[in-house]
Structure 1
Amino acid sequence: MAALTINLNSISNLSRSQFRQIADDNPDMKLERDKQGNLIVMAPTGGETGNWNSDLNLEIGLWNRTSKAGKTFDSSTGFELPAGGDRSPDVAWITIDKWEALTPDEQRGFLPLCPDFALELMSRSDSWVQTQAKMVEYMESGCRLAWLLDPKGKRAAIYRIGKPPELLTAPESLSGEDVLPGFILDTRFLWS
């Protein structure tokens, strides 16, 4: 099942605080809010996508455990993006300096910042166009590197600050570049 976008603008522009209240009142639902104030309800992923998400988080988490350069987050972590949306990337990472600058209350809640690195893994029912729009929100909010991975289409889009997305067909690996220095993700498992 694809994500369901609910446009509430005819009755109310869903504010960040209203979104937080809806999320708190419905803890078993995976919800996001785009920068236009639309409520996005996402279905749980299937086993294949869930397994890939787990592997991707493991890889970046192991790299981070060794580098001690920052903090990693899974898809249940909410980010209050400066450009206006409230999003939960499948994998996210921030520098240790950003983490330590947050108050204990900020660390416990939706993080009031944009990740330095964001990864979105498309499930079979996700829309390429809608997911690209989400990637643009990350970049407009200050994300330094983002990957959009589409196993069904056997493609990856790499987003970098100030550059158009780079589209790759079934790349064997992706580099963390200067954002995740020394990190190389073997992506062949996604395309087989």
Structure 2
Amino acid sequence: MPARLDLRLPSESPRDDDWLFALCQANRTLRIERSSQGDLVIMPPTGAETGARNAELNRHFGNWAATDGRGRVFDSSTGFLLPNGAMRSPDLAWVLRSRLAELSAQQKRQFLPLAPDVIIELASPSDTADALHAKLGEWCDNGVRLGWLILPEERQVWRYAPQAEPICLQAPSELRDAELLPGLALPLGSIWESL
């Protein structure tokens, strides 16, 4: 599987949020993010195994969110504009409806100018653990309240929260956070299995 591509742009290139949104719309088959330095990161599509795992995470989390009703779930094609200037797309994001209500209709049509309350990043074969750990740190530094990094090959989940050391969970059967996500029991059995 091809590795991701880091694309550097000349300093005179426009790099505002509207330009980035237009670039992503014109290249819908690419997964594009922007680093806090303004560099573009172009990632390959996921393989079938990662896609199936991500679909399961979104399905189970989405079912819980529909019952809970306090927030909305977003998939990996949603971009979030972070305070540090980065635009990132987690594999799964959850945002409280009260925060979404503060945004204009135009803001909701483009990349959301906020950090989600909860994110999940699911490693695929083209990812490196170091890059994903750095990304989870960036998410928390920019306002995410809870981040889970799932490394299927290692059968690990890393729990990230602001001002706390990451915690490694070895092959948990489910993920929970009673304070922030009451009632959620996100099953991970299918994550540890191969197709």
For 2:154 and 2:44, locate their aligned partners in 1 and report how far apart those are by CA, in whole Å: 20
Q: Structure 2 unaligned runs (5+)?
A: none
Aligned residues between the structures: 192
Aligned pairs (5 A) from 1:17-166 = 17-166=18-167
> How far off is 1:101 after superposition?
1.1
1:69-113 CA-to-partner distances (Å, cap 9, x unmatched) read: 111100011101112210111100000101111111111111010
SS class of match (2:23): helix
Indicate if the aligned counterparts of 1:85 and 1:137 stay in contact, CA closer than 8 A: no
> How far off is 1:45 after superposition?
0.6
Letter in 1 for 2:65: N
1:167–1:11 CA distance, 2 compared to 1 (3 A)? farther
When structure 1 is superposed on structure 2, of 1-10 and 74-83 the one drifting more is 1-10
Letter in 1 for 2:90: P
Indicate if the aligned counterparts of 1:13 and 1:37 stay in contact, CA closer than 8 A: no
Indicate if the aligned counterparts of 1:14 and 1:38 stay in contact, CA closer than 8 A: no
SS class of match (2:181): coil
TM-score (norm 1): 0.93
Q: Structure 1 unaligned runs (5+)?
A: none
> How far off is 1:15 after superposition?
4.3
For 1:75 and 1:189, locate their aligned partners in 2 and report how far apart those are by CA, in whole Å: 19
SS class of match (2:183): coil
For 1:18 and 1:107, locate their aligned partners in 2 and report how far apart those are by CA, in whole Å: 16
For 1:183 and 1:21, locate their aligned partners in 2 and report how far apart those are by CA, in whole Å: 36
Letter in 2 for 1:84: G
